[in-house]
A and B are shown apart, each in its own frame.
Chain A
Amino acid sequence: MSSLKLQDVTLAYGKRVVLRNISLETRANEVLGIVGPNGCGKSTLIKGITRVLGLSSGCISIGGQDITKLSAGELARLIAVVPQNPVLPEAFTAFEVVLMGRTPHLGFLQYEGQREVSIAMHSMELTQTQYLAERRVGELSGGEKQRLTIARALTQEPRIILLDEPTAHLDINYQIETLDLIADLCAQESLTALAALHDLNLAAQYCDRIIMLNNGQIQAEGSPAAVITAQNIRDVYGAEVCIRPHPINNLPTTLITAGNGKNGRKRW
C-alpha cells in the first residue's frame, strides 16, 4: 500500500514560514481530515505534497518513495488534487475537463481511447455530473464545477486524493453525496483521502482520523472524539462551543450558541 508520509516538513513562502516541522502518515483506506482556522496552512500543505511549493526542509514520501525523485507524471498517477477554487477553461466541455484526469496515464503522443472515455464517464456517474458532459464549463455553477473537479480527480485513478475544502460550494445534499462517495471509495477501493475541511461536523462524521492545525503546527491528532473537543476548539479557534455526541452515531458534534462570541451579548 502506498501511504503518504511527511517527516519534519517545513513549508514557506519566501521567508514567511507557514508550516513548521509537520510529521504525519496516512493509513491505508482512511479519510484523514485536516482542520484548523483560516490561514493555518491547510492549502499550503496540499501544495507541498504536490510539489507546487518546494519544501524548505523535511521529506515527503509515498510508499517509501521520496516525491522529489518522481516525475510530475509519476506523482500525478499517485496523487490527485481537488482544488478549492479551480480555474477551469470556460470553452471546454465538462467531459473534456474530466478526461484531462487521464493525462498522467497517457504517453506524450497518445490519444484517449475507449478505456479513457469509459473511466471518465464512470467518474462522472459517481459524482452525478454525467448530465453536464456536453455543457461548457463557463456555464456551470460553482458547485457543479467542484463536483466536476472531483470527477476529474477520480479519473486520475490515484492512490491518494487530496481535497481542499471539497464541499465549500456545495448544497447540503451534495455535501453528503460527495463525502459519502469519498468515504465509500476509500473503504472499498485502495484509495486514501486527505481532506482539508472547514466544517468540524463534516470532519467528525466522515474522517477516520483528524489532524488539527494551529499556527503551522499540529495541535491535536487522533480520532474525531479525541480531536474535536471544546478545549481544542477554544485553544485553536478561540471560540466557545458545545460538543455533544451525535444522537445516532455518537460522533462529536459541534454546537454553537448565538451570542457566545468574544464580543457577543448573552441571548440565552
Chain B
Amino acid sequence: MSRFRKRVMPLVSLLLVLVMVLAVAVGCGKTEETPPPSTTISVTDDLGKTIELDKPAEKIVSLAPSNTEIVFAVGAGDKLIGRTDYCNFPPEASSVESIAGYSTPNIDAIVLLDPDIVLATGAHNQYGGTADLEDLGLTVVTLAPESLSDILGNITMVGTLTGNDTEAAQVVADMQSRIDFISDRTAGLSEGQKPQVLHVTWHDPLWTAGSGTFIQEIIELAGGVNIFDDVTGDVQVDTDTAVLRNPQVITVVSGHGSAMRTSYDYIIAEDSPFNITDAYISGGIHLINADLACRAGPRVVEALELFAKFIHPETFV
C-alpha cells in the first residue's frame, strides 16, 4: 500500500503540472507573419489612427446601430457579416448575424466571423474593447463623431473602406443639401425669433442633451435655443430648473429601440410638472423616435428635419 501511494502521488502531481505546461505551450504557439502588402486604401479614423487596407473591405462587423446604418447607406450592406442586437434599420440588417449587445459584444463571435474591419464607437474605445480586438489582430475603425460634419466625414470614410466612394459621395451630397435647405432658412433669425427648446431623453430623473451633442447642433440648425446649452454632454438635470426655464418646445425621445412612450405620456399628462410651460399650453410637445434622435448615422438629417418642423412649424411644413 505504502509503495503504491508513494509512487502514485508524485505521478498525479506531475501529470497536473504537465497538463498546465502543455496548455500554455499550445497557447503560446507563434503564428507566422506575412509581409505587409502594398496599400491601396488608407484612412484616418476618429481616434487619429491610420487604417490601411490592400483592397476594399469584404467582411464588415458593426458594433453600433449607427454604424450599421452607414454601411447600408453607402451600399455595402451585403458586406456586413455581423451587427448588434439593436441594429433594426434598414430592415435588411436583421438578416445579418448578431454579435450580442452594443455595450456587451461577444468577442468570440466577432473573431470567429474573421472580419476585414470592425466598426466600433467611442464608447467601445473607452471600455477597452477596441484595444482587446486589436490585440487579436483585428482591424478596428472607430467612429466617434462629435458633429454633423463628422458624421458626413464618417460616411465618406466608410465609403472609402468599402470601395463605395461614389455612393458615399452621393449620400453626403444629398444630406448636405437637406441640411443647407434648413440652415438657409434659419440663418437670418434674430435671437427673439428662436424658440426655447427642451430635449428630453428620459423623464425620471430628467435627462437631456447639453452642448457638445448632436441634439444641441440640430436644435441650433433648426432655429431654436437649447435651454440647457450651459451643461455639457448627456446629463441629468433638475426638473424644477427645466420648468422655470419655460421651454416653448419640448422634444421627447421615445423608449430606446421600442414603441414605449412613457416619457411622452408623463410630460403631456394633466398633472405633469410641465403643465405651466409655454410648450405644454401651446401644444409644443413632440415625440421623436429614439432611433432617429440618438444615432449618429445618415438618418440624423431626418431628425434635423423633424426638429425644424417642431421648432418652426410656420416655415417647415
Contact = CB atoms under 8 A, between A and B. Distances in A.
B6 interface: yes
Contacts of B1: 113-114
A113 B2 CA distance: 5
Interface in B166-193: none
Interface string B1-41: 11001100100000000000000000000000000000000
A108 interface: no
Nearest to A115: B2
Chain B binding surface, main DSSP class? helix
Nearest to B2: A113
Q: Which of B2, B5, B9 gathers the greatest number of chain A CB atoms within 10 Å? A: B2
Contacts of A113: 1-2
A113 B5 CA distance: 9
Chain B residues touching A, range: under 10
Interface residues of A, number: 3
Interface in A101-132: 111, 113-114
A111 B2 CA distance: 8
A175 B9 CA distance: 43
B40 to A, nearest CB: 66
B54 to A, nearest CB: 61
A127 B2 CA distance: 26
A101 B1 CA distance: 20
Nearest to A109: B9
Nearest to B3: A113
Nearest to B1: A114
Nearest to B9: A111
Nearest to A114: B2
B38 to A, nearest CB: 63
Nearest to A112: B2
A73 B25 CA distance: 43
A114 B5 CA distance: 11
Nearest to B6: A111
A110 to B, nearest CB: 9
A253 to B, nearest CB: 51
Contacts of B2: 111, 113-114
A113 B9 CA distance: 14
Contacts of A111: 2, 5-6, 9
A183 B55 CA distance: 97
Interface string A87-111: 0000000000000000000000001
A114 B2 CA distance: 7
Interface string B90-123: 0000000000000000000000000000000000
A114 B6 CA distance: 12
A129 to B, nearest CB: 22
A111 B5 CA distance: 8
A114 B1 CA distance: 8
A113 B6 CA distance: 10
Contacts of A114: 1-2
B75 to A, nearest CB: 71
B14 to A, nearest CB: 15
A5 to B, nearest CB: 39
B176 to A, nearest CB: 79
A114 B9 CA distance: 17
A138 to B, nearest CB: 27
A113 B4 CA distance: 11
A65 B6 CA distance: 35
A111 B6 CA distance: 8
A77 to B, nearest CB: 21
Interface string B279-314: 000000000000000000000000000000000000
Contacts of B6: 111
A33 to B, nearest CB: 40
Nearest to A111: B5
A187 to B, nearest CB: 34
A111 B1 CA distance: 11
A114 B4 CA distance: 12
Interface in B123-156: none
Nearest to B5: A111
A198 to B, nearest CB: 42
A184 B125 CA distance: 82
A113 B3 CA distance: 9
By Cβ-Cβ distance, the 3 closest A-B pairs, closest first, are A113-B2, A111-B5, A114-B2
8 contacts: A111-B2, A111-B5, A111-B6, A111-B9, A113-B1, A113-B2, A114-B1, A114-B2
Given A111-B5, A113-B1, A114-B1, 5 more contacts: A111-B2, A111-B6, A111-B9, A113-B2, A114-B2
Interface of A: 111, 113-114
